[in-house]
Chains A and B, each alone.
Chain A
Amino acid sequence: MNPTQAPRHPSFQDYQDISWTNSAYRSLLSAVVATSAIAAPLAVMQTITAWRLGYLLPMAFAAALEGVYSTLQLGRPRWRDRRGLAFRLGEIALWLVLARAAVWAFATGWPGLVELARWLRDPILFFDGQFVVTGVLFLLAWGLSIGLTGDFLDLALRPDEVAAHDSHEWGDSRSQLRVYYPVSRGAIVNRLAARWIWGGLLVVFCAAVSRVEISTSPRFTQIGLSQLGLPREILAALLCYFVAGLLLMSQARLAVLRSQWYNGDLQVPPTLLRRWPLNSLLTVLLVVAIAALLPIGSTGWLATALETVLAFLMRVAYLVLTVLTFLFTLLLYPLSFLFRQPGAQAPPPPPRMEIPTQQQAVSRLPDWLGGALLWVVLVLIGGYFLLNYLSAHGLLSGRWREWLQQLRFWWRARWAGLRAHAHTAAVTLRKRLQSARLTRLEVLGGRHIRLSALAPAERIRYFYLRAIGRAADRGLTRPPHKTPLEFIPDLVSEWPEADVDVKALTDAFVAARYDRRPIVADEARDVQGVFRRVMAALRGKADLTADGRKADRTPRVEKAL
């Protein structure tokens, strides 16, 4: 066999639509549309503020390009381990940092120590309006480009379609097992088109409103123009939005047709696919050129006629609305007395509560502590996402990687030390708590219980538990798995002289604990005698076996009694 004809094992790249996903033309169009979309809010901001925002469109374009690039990369199989929220949050952190830096660099100037101290005390001052607007617009362009790129990735040929297409070439008998999952590309394109169309309307409306102010006009409306022009960059961006959007729609159309042709095993000359972008571009440019030669809208006869018609319609609508309002008012007038409350006076306002200020509440802490903590948390979270993003792009290599490794080891060592200290402190605290609990138990069990204050059943239970406790002190602890009745033989084997009393005390305890029969006081009094005898027997055993001296035979209960 000729080595060049040897069968090649297919790789995953054979099932990827690389020629489609790697198109720089489409990526550029997506970035242009996403950037142009923020032109309208930019125009509004330029109208209502005096900020310097000239840097915003180029940087938004960079953000859009970055969004396109990262989305394309994440769509590849070798980046599948990086897909997730952490990567996207890293991008957001990056663009927020860049937005802050851009505002400082191009608009407000770099902050001094005074500002830094102020932000430490009051972190909210860091998020000034210009930064918020810039960040939001950056993220808007970035997000739009991600959405557009994601849609076009969904429109690409999928591996199962490629596999099914390949299997068709083998013959029907083998291809029956390989059927691709149909993708509704038409729905994707419709969604894309709807987003573009309604987004475009919003963009135009915002841009138009930014140049309009309320004034009196004799024609038909109360709306007039304050200025007739928009900045050139805004106009160019608006035009780019629609032209690039049209070209993107053309690409989406190509994607749908291409998949239909591919799945239908149609022969498609490569020149058709190659010429498609050029043909669509030429068509749009032709229309743009012809439109430039047409009379400007507001001076044309068509616009005048439409304006007149619209004015008439608006007058009619205004008249109808006025009449309806008048009729509704007349309808409600007889009922107006129902809602009238003569002589009613508003209740006096409640007295103001004196709320202590935050500064007064935490007056013992330094005023910069809260802000510092917030910044530390923000920096840690943002830094984590940023590092995650940079390492995903392979930017943290070489010396940076070593430095980060050392930083990680240092942190692990500190963390281990902190954990050790915490463990020691926890052990110490636990011991202290245990000793305090023991002390409290002794106090509760020995000297401070008044038997006369207990109910008869409680008193019997106390006698039994007290006797068991004494037996435990003497070295015979009741195992948890033994019931009181099962524990009797153990007690009797140690104190045979008290076998009758032990049984009687246990029976009384069982009856008091588990029987529904009420326990009367006389019964408790009888059990008390049994209890004394049992305690005497327990003491005697101790006296004989422990140190040989005779201990005080008076039970401590009796002292209490």
Chain B
Amino acid sequence: MSEIPLLLLLLLVIAILLRLDFVYYLVYVLAGSYILARWRTGRNLNQLRIVRRYTDHIFLGETVGVDIEIANTSWWPVPWLRCDETSPHSLATGSGAIRQVIALRPKERTRLHYDLVGRRRGCYELGPALLSTGDLFGFAEAHGRMEQRDYLTVYPRVIPLGQLRLTSRSPLGTIKSQQHIFADPARITGVREYRAGDPLRSVDWKNSARVGQLQVKKHEPAVSLTSLIVLEMNTESFGRQTRVSASEWGIVVAASLANHLVGQRQAVGLACNGLDALTGAACWTISPRPGRVHLMRLLEWLARVQTTETPPLADWLPAATVDLAWGATVIIVAPTGDEAICRASHRLLQRGLNPVLVVIESYYQFGVVRERARRLGFTAQMVADERDLRQWAFAAAGAQRLII
């Protein structure tokens, strides 16, 4: 069809030379069709309003529907519009994308729909939606793409934990502590007879008057867990074979711990030496804060984080915990409990923090690590899989029951 302009020119020459009015008319018809087709095709894409509507954060296993709403804002129809929306392969259902051709009448609005399943945590870019349109005669064709960038975040898996024994040295808090020296005066569990040495401020004068003997208030021991979860995502720290699975499991453990602690109304922070896929930040820290909103923020960052080549956790740990207050708990989620991490944890202990080392890769000589940690004054726990995590929680709950 590229010869149409030449045909028009020759027809025009014939019409002028021979002064034939009907040839002028033919030129009008052909040129009108040609110009109209090219003019409208060039403007069709600009006069489309395309919006992608969906829930941008989902949990693992959830299905989200994505609607692409296309509206023709002009008074001229779009004879055909091809829309190719590429969706993330790991989330796709069916053919995996929208590949559809539609026609739009003037001012018509239509909606294309497809579903995504959150099979794997991550932050996924939707689209881009490639658009192509043209005229009815093959004179012109236009291509474009939807410039709006949309992302879908799939939160990491969260395993509900019953009770975990995570302590701090802070004397005030809302979680019961196994260390009875940290009694919370706001939590009165009962009274008992006065013993020598009991402070006078703990005497329950009203009950003493009623009973006729000095009675002392019994306080529930409690601590305030300002916790920071430190997640190791340095590529070199993981074994080559288990790099993907272990890092993913570490994220699950971190998310589960954060969920648990926030459920306990504690302030939780997150520090990681991995790469945030959206912002490109490496070695980032989120300050501890309480609340569900903050938890969702933590989960969102955990959804996006990727392993990368960053400084080892042992080197970066002092910088990540520099803002923590005395007595805060630092939960280190790392693939190994090597000597460097243990020494870094010990330095945290010396600073008045309460480090807890969680090793997420299976290690047959973990007893050595645990003994090393015990000697250095902190605890180490191997949580290589979901069963280990549940056993850890169960053992913690049992121990607490025994103590209480």
Contact = CB atoms under 8 A, between A and B. Distances in A.
Interface of A: 189-190, 193-194, 197-198, 200-201, 204-205, 208-209, 211-212, 221, 223, 225, 228, 230, 235, 238-239, 242-243, 246, 249-250, 252-254, 256-257, 261, 264-269, 271-272, 275-276, 279-280, 283-284, 287-288, 290-292, 294, 296-298, 300, 303, 306-307, 310
A69 B239 CA distance: 73
Interface stretch (B24-32, B56-64, B322-330, B332-340): B24-32
Interface stretch (B14-22, B221-229, B268-276): B14-22
B101 A294 contact: no
4 pairs of A and B residues whose beta carbons are closest in the complex? A297-B24, A291-B28, A253-B138, A287-B32
A266 B10 contact: no
Contacts of A238: 22, 26
Interface residues of B, number: 44
A310 to B, nearest CB: 5
A221 B17 contact: yes
Contact of A272 (B7, B101, B138): B101
A235 B3 CA distance: 23
A275 B100 CA distance: 17
Contacts of B20: 208, 211, 225, 298
B13 interface: yes
Given A246-B33, A267-B100, A283-B33, A223 B18 contact: yes
A136 B374 CA distance: 108
A412 B65 CA distance: 79
Contacts of B30: 242, 246
Interface string B152-195: 00000000000000000000000000000000000000000000
B36 interface: yes
Contacts of B13: 310
Contact of B138 (A189, A201, A303): A189
Contacts of A208: 14, 18, 20, 23
Contacts of B395: none
A201 B10 contact: yes
B79 interface: yes
Contacts of B10: 201
A454 B81 CA distance: 101
Nearest to A224: B19
Contacts of A279: 77, 79, 136
A289 to B, nearest CB: 10
B101 A291 contact: no
B33 to A, nearest CB: 5
B281 interface: no
Interface of B: 1, 3-4, 6-7, 10-30, 32-33, 36, 77, 79-80, 82, 95, 99-103, 134-138
B19 A266 contact: no
B191 to A, nearest CB: 74
The binding surface of chain A is classed by DSSP as helix
17 contacts: A189-B138, A200-B7, A208-B18, A211-B18, A212-B18, A225-B19, A239-B26, A246-B29, A268-B100, A279-B79, A287-B36, A292-B25, A298-B15, A298-B16, A298-B24, A303-B24, A310-B13
Contacts of B135: 253
A269 B103 contact: yes
Contacts of B12: 306
Contacts of A268: 100-101
A197 B7 contact: yes
B77 to A, nearest CB: 7
Given A242-B29, A310-B17, 15 more contacts: A198-B7, A200-B7, A204-B26, A223-B17, A225-B20, A246-B30, A253-B134, A265-B95, A266-B99, A269-B101, A280-B137, A284-B33, A291-B28, A294-B28, A297-B15
Given A200-B7, A208-B20, A291 B32 contact: yes
The binding surface of chain B is classed by DSSP as helix
B20 to A, nearest CB: 5
Contacts of A211: 18, 20
A288 B29 contact: yes
B103 A190 contact: no
Given A190-B1, A283-B136, A272 B15 contact: no
A275 B77 CA distance: 12
Most buried by B among A261, A267, A290: A267
B17 A242 contact: no
Contacts of B26: 204, 238-239, 242
A194 B4 CA distance: 9
A193 B18 contact: no
Contacts of A254: 136
Contacts of B17: 221, 223, 310
B142 to A, nearest CB: 14
A265 B13 CA distance: 46
Given A287-B29, A296-B24, A201 B99 contact: no
A249 B95 contact: no
A235 B136 contact: no
A211 B23 CA distance: 13
A209 B23 CA distance: 12
A283 B34 CA distance: 11
Contacts of B16: 298, 303, 306-307, 310
B24 A271 contact: no
Contacts of A265: 95, 99
B335 to A, nearest CB: 37
B22 A272 contact: no
B56 to A, nearest CB: 25
Nearest to A192: B1
Given A193-B3, A276-B79, A266 B101 contact: yes
A297 B23 contact: yes
A279 B82 CA distance: 17
Given A225-B19, A239-B26, A252 B36 contact: no
Contacts of A252: 138
A265 B25 CA distance: 42
Nearest to B80: A272
B32 A290 contact: yes
Contacts of A253: 134-138
B31 to A, nearest CB: 9
Contacts of A197: 3-4, 6-7
B103 A272 contact: yes
A257 B80 contact: yes
A266 B100 CA distance: 5
A291 B29 contact: yes
B318 to A, nearest CB: 52
Contact of A193 (B1, B21, B95): B1
A291 B149 CA distance: 44
Contacts of A300: 24
Contacts of B1: 189-190, 193, 249
B132 to A, nearest CB: 10
A382 B334 CA distance: 95
A296 B80 CA distance: 34
A253 B6 CA distance: 20
Nearest to B25: A291
Contacts of A223: 17-18
A287 B103 contact: no
Contacts of A243: 29
A274 to B, nearest CB: 10
Contacts of B4: 197
Contacts of B101: 257, 261, 266-269, 272
Contact of A249 (B24, B29, B138): B138
A519 B20 CA distance: 98
B7 A201 contact: yes
Given A201-B10, A272-B103, A287 B24 contact: no
Contact of A280 (B19, B95, B102, B136): B136
A287 B33 contact: yes
A200 B1 CA distance: 13
Nearest to B21: A296
Contacts of A261: 82, 101
